[in-house]
Amino acid sequence: MSRCTSPLPVICASRRATSKLSSKDYSTSPTGWPVKHIRTLDPEKLVSVGQPILTLSGAVSLQVPLDARLLDFHHAAHNCSFGIFHWRVWREIPANIAQSLLASETSFPFPPENIDPNLTANGRLISTLSSQRLASMNQRIVNISGMYSARISFGGKTCSDLHYVSTRSSGAAKFPPNTTGVFYYYQSQSAPTQLGELRFRLCSDIHKFERGSDLYSVHGGPWFLSSQSIFASTDDYKSICEHLVEEGLLERSLYPGVPNSMLGSGIPPLTKLNQPFQVDLSVRRQLVNLHNLRRRAAPPHQLQLAFIFRNEAHANVPVFSGRAVVQLEEYPASELHNPGFKHRPVLALRILEFLTPIKRLSSDTKVPDPVPGQLLMRRYHGSGEYVPWSYSPRAPDTCSTIADWIRAQSTSPKHLDSE
């Protein structure tokens, strides 16, 4: 048995050599390659003969680190006296051998399969994240199927690892089969350089981008990485952030006056009224941090906006799914007369746009469908009429804090001072 001179990390053998290997156990080959406990090289018999897993970690002759891998043997379709040992690798082929695999395609009788031609030593090369420039920048299609983490780079030394699912509650999950396409940045229409999402468009050709569909997450809705998460990361997504800024897709000073240490929580930092931020319509509560720029040394005041898109009488039942861009506004004075209010309304919420399709999950009529451009409405039991949803704090201190936050913006609180 001898190794090929081809750069492919495989072993070539004749059928005669194969028959010897399947009848004896070897600790190492003459070249130092450990091949012990090989009971068969026929992939159809691996289970029936109880072929054990081979551990080759630290072997001198290996080009890349491998932990447990399974060895099988494939006959050439045109020549039954020739075959190849294949290592079954269920993860991304290391970048340091990918180029060798590609180079061997024209000379080796068995062209390697599923090798991404866009793979570099630092990950998959990304030319642009703008959906408008994909073709002109010759962005290549990438295949990240079956990976826990997809590493991307923008031509420099730094790179970023993107996970399909990686949370403490859900654990890790691989990108689904047939995850072939391009990464791109989806910009908000209402705040294009402030809000957006990194997404993955499934398509087989860059010119079919518009006809493709976005990769969905395990929780439903397009898989995404928010602009705040990208901007707040000092390490993991730094290269993505720098590239978005370079392409003019994201502002360099996204949250002026807000320390970076306050961004990692994922809670939107608001420094003024009418500032757009992203919400998930399926959650029970939405947190926002009010940053008073006249009191930068003071910690932000956190508001808990509970049951925005739910009926509080059925708090555990989501009414909608999807994501939207919204903004907080002073509550309209014309609606303050409603007798159904238990506490004086302070803030209202306006829907600016939908980031994803919004799906109704419940027939609850108390919560009407949100409409872009309009205030979020709610039907109250007392009058039965629909009025703007309100944030009505019980504590007087909270109302004073909000009024002070508005004063810091050099605007006059219309009705907060009257209390």
Please check whether residue 114 lies inside any domain of the structure: no
CA–CA–CA angle 325, 327, 328 (5° rounding) = 150
Query: Which residues share a beta bridge with 279?
Result: 324
Say if residue 99 is in the same domain as residue 126. Answer: no
Domain presence at residue 209? yes
Find residue 226's DSSP bridge partners.
Answer: 197
Write out pLDDT tens, residues 174-195. Answer: 999 999 999 999 999 999 999 9
82 and 221 part of one domain: no
Other residues' Cβ atoms within 10 Å of the Cβ of residue 383: 11
**Is 209 within 8 Å of 182 (Cβ atoms)?**
yes
Residues 285 and 368 in one domain: yes
pLDDT for the residue 225: 96
255 in a structural domain: no
pLDDT score for 167: 63
In this structure, the chain runs to a length of 419
Residues 144 and 292 in one domain: no
Q: Which neighbouring-strand residues pair with 162?
A: 150
Q: Give pTM, 2 decimals.
A: 0.71
Query: Which residues, listed in sequence order, are joined to residue 87 by a DSSP beta bridge?
Result: 71
Based on the domain organization, do 402 and 351 belong to the same domain? yes
Q: Report which residue type is found at 29.
A: S
Choosing from 77, 103, 129, the residue where a domain stops is 103
SS3 state at 213: strand
Interatomic CA distance for residues 417 and 419, integer angstroms: 5
Rounded distance between C-alpha atoms, residue 94 and residue 121, angstroms = 8
Which range of residues forms the domain containing residue 35?
A: 2-103
Query: What is the total count of domains within the chain?
Result: 3
Write down the pLDDT at residue 337. 75
- Cα separation of 323 and 358, whole Å? 7
Does residue 255 contact residue 264 with C-beta atoms inside 8 Å?
no
Report the half-sphere exposure of 255 (CA within 13 A, side-chain side). Answer: 27
Residues 6 or more apart whose Cβ sits within 8 Å of residue 284? 306, 307, 310, 315, 316
Nearest-angstrom CA–CA distance, 52 and 382: 72
Same domain, 330 and 298: yes
CB-count burial class (<10 Å; 0-12, 13-18, 19+) for 143: buried
Dihedral, 28, 34, 37, 40 alpha carbons, nearest 10: -100
Residues 89 and 132 in one domain: no
d(CA 74, CA 90): 18
Strand partners, 149: 163
Are both 331 and 412 inside the same structural domain?
yes
Assess whether 242 and 264 both reside in one domain: no
> Is residue 335 situated within a structural domain?
yes
Sign of CA dihedral 243, 246, 249, 250: positive
- Rounded distance between C-alpha atoms, residue 360 and residue 218, angstroms: 19
- Nearest alpha carbon to residue 356 among 238, 236, 197, 244: 197
Q: If we measure between CA atoms, which residue out of 394, 352, 358 comes closest to residue 281? A: 358
Does 111 fall in a domain?
no
Q: Which of 103, 135, 150 is the last residue of a domain?
A: 103
Q: Give the integer Cα–Cα distance in Å for 69 and 186.
A: 39
Give the number of C-alpha atoms closer than 13 A to the C-alpha of residue 265, restricted to the C-beta side. Answer: 13
Residues 81-96: tens digit of each pLDDT? 444 444 444 344 555 5
Does residue 113 fall inside a structural domain?
Answer: no
Residue 112 lies in a domain: no
Contact 373, 379 (CB under 8 A): no
What does the pLDDT read at residue 49? 65
Q: Does 320 share its domain with 380?
A: yes
Tokens 């002070």 belong to which residue?
404
For residue 85, the surrounding DSSP H or E stretch is: strand 82-88
Task: Write down the pLDDT at residue 33.
Answer: 45
pLDDT digits (tens), the chain, 419 positions: 333 333 333 333 333 333 333 334 444 444 444 444 566 666 766 776 677 776 666 555 443 333 333 444 444 444 444 444 444 443 445 555 555 555 554 544 444 444 555 666 668 899 999 999 999 999 999 999 999 999 999 987 788 999 998 666 666 889 999 999 999 999 999 999 999 999 999 999 999 999 999 999 988 899 999 999 999 887 889 999 999 999 999 999 899 888 888 888 889 999 999 999 999 999 999 999 999 988 887 889 999 999 999 998 899 999 999 999 999 999 998 888 776 677 788 999 999 999 999 999 999 889 999 999 999 999 876 667 888 999 999 888 999 999 999 998 865 445 444 44
> Domain check: are 226 and 275 in the same one?
no
Q: What is the pLDDT of residue 58?
A: 58
Helix, coil or strand: residue 73: strand
| Alpha carbons 236 and 230: distance in angstroms, whole number | 8
SS3 165: strand
3-state secondary structure of 150: strand
Same domain, 233 and 168: yes
Would residue 251 count as lying in a domain?
no
**Is 286 in a helix, a strand, or coil?**
strand
DSSP result, 385-415: -EEE--B--SSHHHHHHHHHHHHTTT---SS
Q: Which of 246, 278, 301 is the last residue of a domain?
A: 246
